[in-house]
Structure 1
Amino acid sequence: MTTMPMFPLASVLFPAMPTALRIFEERYFVMLARVLQAERPEFGIVLIERGSEAGGGEQRFGIATVARITQLRSDDGTVGLLARGERRIEVTRWLADDPHPQAEVRDVPELEWSDELQPLHDEAERLVRRTLAQASEFTEQSWPADVGLSENPIDSSWQLAGIAPVGPLDQIHLLQSATTEQLLRGVIEATTDAAEVIAMSWDEDMPPADDAD
Protein backbone atom coordinates (compact mmCIF):
# COMPACT_ATOMS: atom_id res chain seq x y z
CA MET A 1 0.00 0.00 0.00
CA THR A 2 1.15 3.52 -0.80
CA THR A 3 -0.27 6.87 0.29
CA MET A 4 -0.68 9.13 -2.72
CA PRO A 5 -1.95 12.68 -3.21
CA MET A 6 -5.02 12.67 -5.44
CA PHE A 7 -6.49 15.17 -7.88
CA PRO A 8 -10.22 14.61 -8.60
CA LEU A 9 -11.29 15.71 -12.09
CA ALA A 10 -14.36 15.55 -14.32
CA SER A 11 -12.35 13.60 -16.90
CA VAL A 12 -10.30 10.40 -17.03
CA LEU A 13 -6.54 10.21 -17.56
CA PHE A 14 -5.31 7.04 -19.27
CA PRO A 15 -1.80 5.59 -19.12
CA ALA A 16 0.42 6.93 -21.94
CA MET A 17 -1.81 10.00 -22.36
CA PRO A 18 -0.88 13.63 -21.62
CA THR A 19 -2.94 16.04 -19.57
CA ALA A 20 -2.79 19.76 -18.87
CA LEU A 21 -3.97 21.10 -15.50
CA ARG A 22 -4.36 24.56 -14.01
CA ILE A 23 -3.80 24.82 -10.25
CA PHE A 24 -5.63 27.69 -8.52
CA GLU A 25 -6.93 26.29 -5.20
CA GLU A 26 -4.74 26.64 -2.12
CA ARG A 27 -5.11 22.95 -1.22
CA TYR A 28 -3.62 21.95 -4.57
CA PHE A 29 -0.76 24.44 -4.20
CA VAL A 30 0.06 22.52 -1.01
CA MET A 31 -0.24 19.22 -2.86
CA LEU A 32 2.00 20.43 -5.67
CA ALA A 33 4.68 21.60 -3.22
CA ARG A 34 4.68 18.19 -1.55
CA VAL A 35 4.77 16.34 -4.87
CA LEU A 36 7.75 18.36 -6.09
CA GLN A 37 9.66 17.56 -2.89
CA ALA A 38 9.16 13.81 -3.38
CA GLU A 39 11.61 11.55 -5.21
CA ARG A 40 9.10 11.07 -8.04
CA PRO A 41 6.90 14.07 -8.98
CA GLU A 42 3.64 12.18 -9.34
CA PHE A 43 0.08 12.11 -8.05
CA GLY A 44 -3.17 10.31 -8.82
CA ILE A 45 -5.91 11.60 -11.11
CA VAL A 46 -9.35 10.21 -10.31
CA LEU A 47 -12.73 10.74 -11.95
CA ILE A 48 -15.38 12.52 -9.90
CA GLU A 49 -18.52 10.42 -9.51
CA ARG A 50 -20.64 13.18 -7.94
CA GLY A 51 -19.95 16.81 -7.09
CA SER A 52 -17.66 19.39 -8.69
CA GLU A 53 -13.94 19.94 -9.08
CA ALA A 54 -13.72 23.10 -7.00
CA GLY A 55 -14.27 23.36 -3.27
CA GLY A 56 -14.05 19.73 -2.18
CA GLY A 57 -16.74 17.35 -0.95
CA GLU A 58 -16.99 15.42 -4.20
CA GLN A 59 -17.43 11.63 -4.44
CA ARG A 60 -14.83 9.77 -6.45
CA PHE A 61 -14.42 6.50 -8.35
CA GLY A 62 -12.12 3.82 -6.96
CA ILE A 63 -9.71 3.49 -9.89
CA ALA A 64 -7.28 6.18 -10.96
CA THR A 65 -4.15 6.84 -12.98
CA VAL A 66 -0.79 8.04 -11.71
CA ALA A 67 0.26 11.27 -13.41
CA ARG A 68 3.94 12.21 -13.64
CA ILE A 69 4.66 15.93 -13.96
CA THR A 70 6.66 16.80 -17.07
CA GLN A 71 6.41 20.60 -17.21
CA LEU A 72 5.43 23.51 -14.94
CA ARG A 73 4.78 27.20 -15.45
CA SER A 74 3.41 29.95 -13.21
CA ASP A 75 1.18 32.73 -14.50
CA ASP A 76 -0.98 35.36 -12.75
CA GLY A 77 -1.39 33.50 -9.46
CA THR A 78 -2.04 30.10 -10.99
CA VAL A 79 0.22 27.21 -11.92
CA GLY A 80 -0.12 25.33 -15.16
CA LEU A 81 1.33 21.86 -15.43
CA LEU A 82 1.69 19.16 -18.01
CA ALA A 83 1.69 15.54 -16.91
CA ARG A 84 1.66 12.08 -18.46
CA GLY A 85 -0.36 9.07 -17.36
CA GLU A 86 1.96 6.35 -16.06
CA ARG A 87 0.05 3.41 -14.56
CA ARG A 88 -3.30 2.52 -13.03
CA ILE A 89 -3.93 2.41 -9.31
CA GLU A 90 -6.81 1.20 -7.16
CA VAL A 91 -7.94 3.22 -4.17
CA THR A 92 -8.13 0.95 -1.14
CA ARG A 93 -8.99 3.71 1.34
CA TRP A 94 -9.66 7.41 1.14
CA LEU A 95 -7.88 9.40 3.84
CA ALA A 96 -8.85 12.74 5.35
CA ASP A 97 -8.00 15.73 3.17
CA ASP A 98 -4.70 17.19 4.40
CA PRO A 99 -5.67 19.71 3.00
CA HIS A 100 -5.84 18.05 -0.41
CA PRO A 101 -7.38 14.63 -1.19
CA GLN A 102 -5.16 11.63 -0.52
CA ALA A 103 -5.66 7.89 -0.49
CA GLU A 104 -4.03 4.57 0.18
CA VAL A 105 -3.56 2.92 -3.20
CA ARG A 106 -2.11 -0.16 -4.81
CA ASP A 107 -0.98 -0.74 -8.38
CA VAL A 108 -3.34 -2.41 -10.84
CA PRO A 109 -1.63 -5.16 -12.90
CA GLU A 110 -0.29 -3.96 -16.23
CA LEU A 111 -1.97 -5.10 -19.42
CA GLU A 112 -0.16 -7.63 -21.60
CA TRP A 113 0.20 -7.73 -25.37
CA SER A 114 -0.11 -10.60 -27.82
CA ASP A 115 0.46 -10.28 -31.55
CA GLU A 116 -2.85 -12.08 -32.03
CA LEU A 117 -4.51 -8.83 -30.90
CA GLN A 118 -3.09 -6.78 -33.79
CA PRO A 119 -6.18 -7.15 -36.04
CA LEU A 120 -8.39 -6.01 -33.15
CA HIS A 121 -6.06 -3.08 -32.50
CA ASP A 122 -6.16 -2.13 -36.19
CA GLU A 123 -9.97 -2.28 -36.22
CA ALA A 124 -10.18 -0.07 -33.14
CA GLU A 125 -7.75 2.45 -34.62
CA ARG A 126 -9.61 2.67 -37.94
CA LEU A 127 -12.93 3.16 -36.14
CA VAL A 128 -11.62 5.78 -33.70
CA ARG A 129 -9.92 7.81 -36.44
CA ARG A 130 -12.99 7.66 -38.71
CA THR A 131 -15.31 8.69 -35.88
CA LEU A 132 -13.03 11.56 -34.87
CA ALA A 133 -13.12 12.80 -38.46
CA GLN A 134 -16.93 12.59 -38.49
CA ALA A 135 -17.27 14.29 -35.11
CA SER A 136 -15.02 17.16 -36.22
CA GLU A 137 -17.73 18.12 -38.74
CA PHE A 138 -19.99 19.12 -35.84
CA THR A 139 -17.72 20.40 -33.10
CA GLU A 140 -14.04 20.96 -32.35
CA GLN A 141 -12.43 17.80 -30.99
CA SER A 142 -9.62 17.50 -28.47
CA TRP A 143 -7.70 15.25 -30.86
CA PRO A 144 -7.39 15.32 -34.66
CA ALA A 145 -8.18 12.17 -36.60
CA ASP A 146 -4.56 11.87 -37.74
CA VAL A 147 -2.96 12.20 -34.28
CA GLY A 148 0.15 10.05 -33.89
CA LEU A 149 0.18 7.02 -31.60
CA SER A 150 2.97 5.24 -29.77
CA GLU A 151 4.76 2.35 -31.43
CA ASN A 152 4.30 0.40 -28.19
CA PRO A 153 1.04 -1.55 -28.70
CA ILE A 154 -0.04 -1.36 -25.06
CA ASP A 155 0.56 2.38 -24.95
CA SER A 156 -1.25 2.91 -28.24
CA SER A 157 -4.20 0.82 -27.02
CA TRP A 158 -4.53 3.16 -24.04
CA GLN A 159 -4.10 6.14 -26.35
CA LEU A 160 -6.97 4.92 -28.54
CA ALA A 161 -9.13 4.90 -25.41
CA GLY A 162 -7.90 8.39 -24.60
CA ILE A 163 -8.60 9.98 -27.97
CA ALA A 164 -11.91 8.20 -28.69
CA PRO A 165 -14.80 10.73 -28.68
CA VAL A 166 -16.64 9.10 -25.77
CA GLY A 167 -17.88 10.37 -22.41
CA PRO A 168 -16.31 9.98 -18.96
CA LEU A 169 -18.50 7.04 -17.91
CA ASP A 170 -17.36 5.10 -20.98
CA GLN A 171 -13.81 6.18 -20.21
CA ILE A 172 -13.90 4.90 -16.62
CA HIS A 173 -15.27 1.59 -17.90
CA LEU A 174 -12.32 1.36 -20.30
CA LEU A 175 -9.86 2.26 -17.55
CA GLN A 176 -11.13 -0.74 -15.56
CA SER A 177 -10.23 -3.21 -18.37
CA ALA A 178 -8.58 -6.37 -17.07
CA THR A 179 -7.01 -7.38 -20.41
CA THR A 180 -5.86 -5.66 -23.58
CA GLU A 181 -8.51 -7.53 -25.54
CA GLN A 182 -11.21 -6.23 -23.18
CA LEU A 183 -9.84 -2.70 -23.57
CA LEU A 184 -9.81 -2.83 -27.38
CA ARG A 185 -13.27 -4.38 -27.60
CA GLY A 186 -14.51 -1.74 -25.18
CA VAL A 187 -13.02 1.01 -27.35
CA ILE A 188 -14.77 -0.45 -30.39
CA GLU A 189 -18.12 -0.75 -28.62
CA ALA A 190 -18.05 2.74 -27.08
CA THR A 191 -16.85 4.36 -30.30
CA THR A 192 -19.49 2.55 -32.35
CA ASP A 193 -22.15 3.96 -30.03
CA ALA A 194 -20.64 7.42 -30.38
CA ALA A 195 -20.59 7.09 -34.18
CA GLU A 196 -24.30 6.21 -34.18
CA VAL A 197 -25.09 9.35 -32.19
CA ILE A 198 -23.02 11.41 -34.62
CA ALA A 199 -24.85 9.83 -37.58
CA MET A 200 -28.22 10.72 -36.04
CA SER A 201 -27.06 14.30 -35.52
CA TRP A 202 -25.96 14.41 -39.13
CA ASP A 203 -29.41 13.25 -40.30
CA GLU A 204 -31.15 15.84 -38.11
CA ASP A 205 -28.99 18.66 -39.51
CA MET A 206 -29.56 17.69 -43.13
CA PRO A 207 -32.12 19.92 -44.92
CA PRO A 208 -35.30 18.15 -46.09
CA ALA A 209 -35.16 16.91 -49.64
CA ASP A 210 -37.27 18.71 -52.23
CA ASP A 211 -40.07 16.69 -53.74
CA ALA A 212 -39.45 15.75 -57.33
CA ASP A 213 -42.28 16.66 -59.72
Structure 2
Amino acid sequence: MEVLPMFPLGTVLLPGERLPLQVFEPRYIAMVDNCILDDDPRFGVVLISRGHEVGGDDVRTDVGTIARIASCVPIPGNRFGLLCVGEDRVRVSRWLPDDPYPRAEVEVWPDEFDGDDAVPLARVLDAITQLDLVWRELAEQSGKSVPEFNEPELPDDPSTRSFVLSAGLPIGETDRQRVLSAPGPAQRLTALAESLDDVVAALRFRLQ
Protein backbone atom coordinates (compact mmCIF):
# COMPACT_ATOMS: atom_id res chain seq x y z
CA MET A 1 0.00 0.00 0.00
CA GLU A 2 1.28 3.46 -0.85
CA VAL A 3 -0.09 6.99 -1.08
CA LEU A 4 -0.02 8.46 -4.59
CA PRO A 5 -1.03 11.80 -6.04
CA MET A 6 -3.99 11.11 -8.32
CA PHE A 7 -5.15 12.67 -11.58
CA PRO A 8 -8.79 11.80 -12.39
CA LEU A 9 -9.36 12.14 -16.14
CA GLY A 10 -12.05 11.63 -18.73
CA THR A 11 -9.92 8.96 -20.35
CA VAL A 12 -8.52 5.57 -19.33
CA LEU A 13 -4.78 4.99 -19.30
CA LEU A 14 -3.76 1.38 -19.97
CA PRO A 15 -0.40 -0.07 -18.89
CA GLY A 16 2.16 0.55 -21.62
CA GLU A 17 0.28 3.45 -23.23
CA ARG A 18 1.66 6.95 -23.66
CA LEU A 19 -0.38 9.82 -22.25
CA PRO A 20 0.29 13.44 -23.29
CA LEU A 21 -1.20 16.00 -20.91
CA GLN A 22 -1.37 19.77 -20.70
CA VAL A 23 -1.69 20.73 -17.04
CA PHE A 24 -3.14 24.12 -16.16
CA GLU A 25 -5.43 23.76 -13.13
CA PRO A 26 -3.66 25.15 -10.01
CA ARG A 27 -4.08 21.99 -7.92
CA TYR A 28 -2.47 19.86 -10.62
CA ILE A 29 0.28 22.42 -11.19
CA ALA A 30 1.06 21.92 -7.48
CA MET A 31 0.93 18.15 -7.98
CA VAL A 32 3.41 18.26 -10.87
CA ASP A 33 5.68 20.63 -8.93
CA ASN A 34 5.87 18.02 -6.16
CA CYS A 35 6.15 15.02 -8.49
CA ILE A 36 9.14 16.31 -10.42
CA LEU A 37 11.14 16.66 -7.20
CA ASP A 38 11.06 12.86 -6.94
CA ASP A 39 13.68 10.64 -8.58
CA ASP A 40 10.84 8.60 -10.13
CA PRO A 41 7.99 11.08 -10.71
CA ARG A 42 4.67 9.21 -10.77
CA PHE A 43 0.99 9.72 -10.14
CA GLY A 44 -2.15 7.63 -10.51
CA VAL A 45 -4.69 8.05 -13.31
CA VAL A 46 -8.31 6.99 -12.84
CA LEU A 47 -11.37 7.49 -15.00
CA ILE A 48 -14.00 10.02 -13.98
CA SER A 49 -17.23 8.04 -14.18
CA ARG A 50 -19.39 11.11 -13.58
CA GLY A 51 -18.54 14.81 -13.50
CA HIS A 52 -15.80 16.90 -15.07
CA GLU A 53 -12.01 17.05 -15.04
CA VAL A 54 -11.91 20.71 -14.03
CA GLY A 55 -13.30 21.97 -10.75
CA GLY A 56 -13.71 18.79 -8.70
CA ASP A 57 -16.99 17.22 -7.50
CA ASP A 58 -16.36 14.21 -9.73
CA VAL A 59 -17.10 10.52 -9.20
CA ARG A 60 -14.00 8.38 -9.73
CA THR A 61 -13.43 4.75 -10.55
CA ASP A 62 -11.39 2.65 -8.14
CA VAL A 63 -9.14 0.91 -10.69
CA GLY A 64 -6.49 2.94 -12.47
CA THR A 65 -2.91 2.99 -13.71
CA ILE A 66 0.32 4.52 -12.46
CA ALA A 67 1.61 7.15 -14.88
CA ARG A 68 5.35 7.86 -14.87
CA ILE A 69 6.34 11.33 -16.09
CA ALA A 70 8.76 10.79 -18.97
CA SER A 71 9.10 14.49 -19.81
CA CYS A 72 7.86 17.77 -18.38
CA VAL A 73 8.07 21.07 -20.26
CA PRO A 74 6.95 24.45 -18.85
CA ILE A 75 4.48 26.26 -21.14
CA PRO A 76 3.76 30.02 -21.08
CA GLY A 77 0.75 30.85 -18.94
CA ASN A 78 1.84 28.78 -15.92
CA ARG A 79 1.20 25.44 -17.61
CA PHE A 80 3.07 22.18 -18.00
CA GLY A 81 3.23 19.87 -20.99
CA LEU A 82 3.70 16.30 -19.82
CA LEU A 83 4.40 13.05 -21.59
CA CYS A 84 3.58 10.11 -19.34
CA VAL A 85 3.81 6.33 -19.71
CA GLY A 86 1.35 3.91 -18.13
CA GLU A 87 2.97 1.40 -15.80
CA ASP A 88 1.37 -0.80 -13.10
CA ARG A 89 -2.35 -1.22 -12.67
CA VAL A 90 -3.60 -0.19 -9.21
CA ARG A 91 -6.70 -0.44 -7.05
CA VAL A 92 -7.71 2.48 -4.87
CA SER A 93 -8.15 1.40 -1.25
CA ARG A 94 -9.06 4.80 0.14
CA TRP A 95 -9.37 8.34 -1.17
CA LEU A 96 -7.71 11.00 0.98
CA PRO A 97 -8.81 14.65 1.16
CA ASP A 98 -8.09 16.67 -2.01
CA ASP A 99 -5.67 18.94 -0.19
CA PRO A 100 -4.11 20.50 -2.18
CA TYR A 101 -4.75 17.88 -4.90
CA PRO A 102 -6.34 14.41 -5.07
CA ARG A 103 -4.44 11.65 -3.29
CA ALA A 104 -5.28 8.05 -2.52
CA GLU A 105 -4.00 4.94 -0.83
CA VAL A 106 -3.42 2.44 -3.65
CA GLU A 107 -2.08 -1.08 -4.09
CA VAL A 108 -0.58 -2.54 -7.23
CA TRP A 109 -2.94 -5.06 -8.83
CA PRO A 110 -1.04 -7.60 -10.94
CA ASP A 111 -3.00 -9.73 -13.39
CA GLU A 112 -4.45 -12.96 -12.03
CA PHE A 113 -4.28 -16.20 -14.01
CA ASP A 114 -7.80 -16.63 -15.41
CA GLY A 115 -7.35 -19.47 -17.87
CA ASP A 116 -6.08 -20.06 -21.38
CA ASP A 117 -6.48 -16.93 -23.52
CA ALA A 118 -6.30 -18.72 -26.89
CA VAL A 119 -10.06 -18.64 -27.59
CA PRO A 120 -10.67 -14.99 -26.59
CA LEU A 121 -7.50 -13.99 -28.46
CA ALA A 122 -8.87 -15.61 -31.62
CA ARG A 123 -12.18 -13.78 -31.06
CA VAL A 124 -10.39 -10.43 -30.82
CA LEU A 125 -8.32 -11.04 -33.95
CA ASP A 126 -11.45 -12.08 -35.86
CA ALA A 127 -13.30 -8.96 -34.65
CA ILE A 128 -10.39 -6.80 -35.85
CA THR A 129 -10.66 -8.45 -39.29
CA GLN A 130 -14.41 -7.79 -39.37
CA LEU A 131 -13.81 -4.20 -38.28
CA ASP A 132 -11.36 -3.65 -41.12
CA LEU A 133 -13.83 -5.10 -43.65
CA VAL A 134 -16.78 -2.99 -42.55
CA TRP A 135 -14.62 0.16 -42.45
CA ARG A 136 -13.63 -0.49 -46.06
CA GLU A 137 -17.26 -0.96 -47.07
CA LEU A 138 -18.22 2.30 -45.37
CA ALA A 139 -15.30 4.11 -47.02
CA GLU A 140 -16.34 2.85 -50.46
CA GLN A 141 -19.93 3.90 -49.81
CA SER A 142 -19.01 7.39 -48.62
CA GLY A 143 -15.98 8.02 -50.83
CA LYS A 144 -13.77 8.67 -47.82
CA SER A 145 -10.37 7.20 -47.05
CA VAL A 146 -10.16 3.91 -45.18
CA PRO A 147 -9.21 4.22 -41.47
CA GLU A 148 -5.92 2.48 -40.81
CA PHE A 149 -5.40 -0.06 -38.06
CA ASN A 150 -1.87 -1.39 -37.94
CA GLU A 151 -2.00 -4.61 -35.97
CA PRO A 152 0.87 -4.44 -33.46
CA GLU A 153 3.49 -7.12 -33.00
CA LEU A 154 2.07 -9.21 -30.18
CA PRO A 155 4.26 -10.07 -27.17
CA ASP A 156 4.38 -13.61 -25.79
CA ASP A 157 3.35 -12.56 -22.29
CA PRO A 158 -0.47 -12.86 -22.06
CA SER A 159 -0.97 -9.80 -19.83
CA THR A 160 1.21 -7.51 -21.95
CA ARG A 161 -0.38 -8.90 -25.12
CA SER A 162 -3.90 -8.16 -23.88
CA PHE A 163 -3.03 -4.54 -23.11
CA VAL A 164 -1.15 -4.03 -26.39
CA LEU A 165 -4.18 -5.28 -28.32
CA SER A 166 -6.56 -3.08 -26.30
CA ALA A 167 -4.60 0.11 -26.92
CA GLY A 168 -5.52 2.00 -30.06
CA LEU A 169 -8.74 0.14 -30.86
CA PRO A 170 -11.90 2.22 -31.38
CA ILE A 171 -13.78 1.42 -28.18
CA GLY A 172 -15.27 3.89 -25.71
CA GLU A 173 -13.86 4.87 -22.34
CA THR A 174 -16.40 2.76 -20.43
CA ASP A 175 -15.29 -0.28 -22.41
CA ARG A 176 -11.64 0.60 -21.86
CA GLN A 177 -12.36 0.70 -18.13
CA ARG A 178 -13.91 -2.78 -18.35
CA VAL A 179 -10.76 -3.96 -20.11
CA LEU A 180 -8.53 -2.40 -17.44
CA SER A 181 -10.61 -3.84 -14.61
CA ALA A 182 -10.65 -7.43 -15.90
CA PRO A 183 -8.89 -9.75 -13.42
CA GLY A 184 -6.63 -11.30 -16.05
CA PRO A 185 -5.81 -11.49 -19.74
CA ALA A 186 -8.43 -14.08 -20.76
CA GLN A 187 -11.31 -12.07 -19.31
CA ARG A 188 -9.75 -8.86 -20.63
CA LEU A 189 -9.69 -10.21 -24.18
CA THR A 190 -13.26 -11.45 -23.79
CA ALA A 191 -14.36 -7.94 -22.76
CA LEU A 192 -12.39 -6.47 -25.66
CA ALA A 193 -13.97 -8.88 -28.16
CA GLU A 194 -17.47 -8.00 -26.90
CA SER A 195 -16.73 -4.28 -27.25
CA LEU A 196 -15.38 -4.72 -30.78
CA ASP A 197 -18.45 -6.80 -31.73
CA ASP A 198 -20.62 -3.85 -30.64
CA VAL A 199 -18.54 -1.44 -32.74
CA VAL A 200 -18.79 -3.70 -35.79
CA ALA A 201 -22.56 -4.08 -35.32
CA ALA A 202 -22.99 -0.30 -35.11
CA LEU A 203 -20.95 0.25 -38.28
CA ARG A 204 -22.92 -2.43 -40.13
CA PHE A 205 -26.12 -0.67 -39.10
CA ARG A 206 -24.76 2.50 -40.72
CA LEU A 207 -24.18 0.53 -43.92
CA GLN A 208 -27.89 -0.20 -44.11
Distance 2:130 2:30 in 1: 43
- Answer whether contact 2:44 2:65 (CA < 8 A) is retained: yes
- Answer whether contact 2:42 2:68 (CA < 8 A) is retained: yes
Cα deviation, residue 39, structure 1: 3.0
- Counterpart of 1:96 in structure 2: which amino acid? P
User: Counterpart of 1:163 in 2: which secondary structure?
Assistant: coil
Distance 1:173 1:36 in 2: 31
Q: Identify if the C-alpha distance between structure 1 residues 130 and 149 changes in structure 2 by more than 3 Å, giving closer, same or farther.
A: farther
- Answer whether contact 1:19 1:83 (CA < 8 A) is retained: yes
Partner of 1:81: 82
Q: Identify if the C-alpha distance between structure 1 residues 152 and 23 changes in structure 2 by more than 3 Å, giving closer, same or farther.
A: farther
Q: Identify if the C-alpha distance between structure 1 residues 166 and 33 changes in structure 2 by more than 3 Å, giving closer, same or farther.
A: same
Partner of 1:210: none
User: Counterpart of 2:152 in 1: which secondary structure?
Assistant: coil
Q: Identify if the C-alpha distance between structure 1 residues 71 and 148 changes in structure 2 by more than 3 Å, giving closer, same or farther.
A: farther
Query: Is 1:97 aligned with 2:107?
Result: no
Distance 1:34 1:132 in 2: 45
- Counterpart of 1:94 in structure 2: which amino acid? W
RMSD, aligned CA:
2.6
Partner of 2:170: 165
Residues 23-68 of structure 1, C-alpha deviation per residue, up to 9 Å, x if partnerless?
0111111101111112321110000011100111211011111111
- Answer whether contact 2:5 2:43 (CA < 8 A) is retained: yes
Residues 127-171 of structure 1, C-alpha deviation per residue, up to 9 Å, x if partnerless?
236526755848999x94015345354223112222221111111
- Counterpart of 2:8 in structure 1: which amino acid? P
Length, aligned pairs only: 201
- Counterpart of 1:33 in structure 2: which amino acid? D
Query: Is 1:39 aligned with 2:43?
Result: no
- Answer whether contact 2:71 2:84 (CA < 8 A) is retained: yes
Partner of 2:150: 146
- Counterpart of 1:49 in structure 2: which amino acid? S
User: Counterpart of 1:190 in 2: which secondary structure?
Assistant: helix
- Answer whether contact 1:27 1:99 (CA < 8 A) is retained: yes
- State, as a whole percentage, how many aligned pairs show the same letter: 30
Distance 1:63 1:29 in 2: 23
Residues 92-144 of structure 1, C-alpha deviation per residue, up to 9 Å, x if partnerless?
11111121111011111235598x53453244134236526755848999x94
Q: Identify if the C-alpha distance between structure 1 residues 32 and 135 changes in structure 2 by more than 3 Å, giving closer, same or farther.
A: farther
Q: Identify unmatched segments of 5+ residues in structure 1.
A: 204-213
User: Counterpart of 1:90 in 2: which secondary structure?
Assistant: strand
User: Counterpart of 2:183 in 1: which secondary structure?
Assistant: coil
2:179 maps to which of 162, 174, 179: 174
User: Counterpart of 1:54 in 2: which secondary structure?
Assistant: coil
Distance 1:66 1:172 in 2: 14
Query: Could you list the runs of 4 or more consecutive aligned residues of structure 1 that deviate by over 6 angstroms after TM superposition?
Result: 138-141
- Answer whether contact 1:133 1:145 (CA < 8 A) is retained: no
1:38-57 equivalences under 5 Å are 38-57=38-57
User: Counterpart of 1:191 in 2: which secondary structure?
Assistant: helix
- Answer whether contact 2:65 2:88 (CA < 8 A) is retained: yes
Q: Identify if the C-alpha distance between structure 1 residues 202 and 52 changes in structure 2 by more than 3 Å, giving closer, same or farther.
A: same
Distance 2:46 2:126 in 1: 29
Distance 1:59 1:120 in 2: 32
- Counterpart of 2:177 in structure 1: which amino acid? I
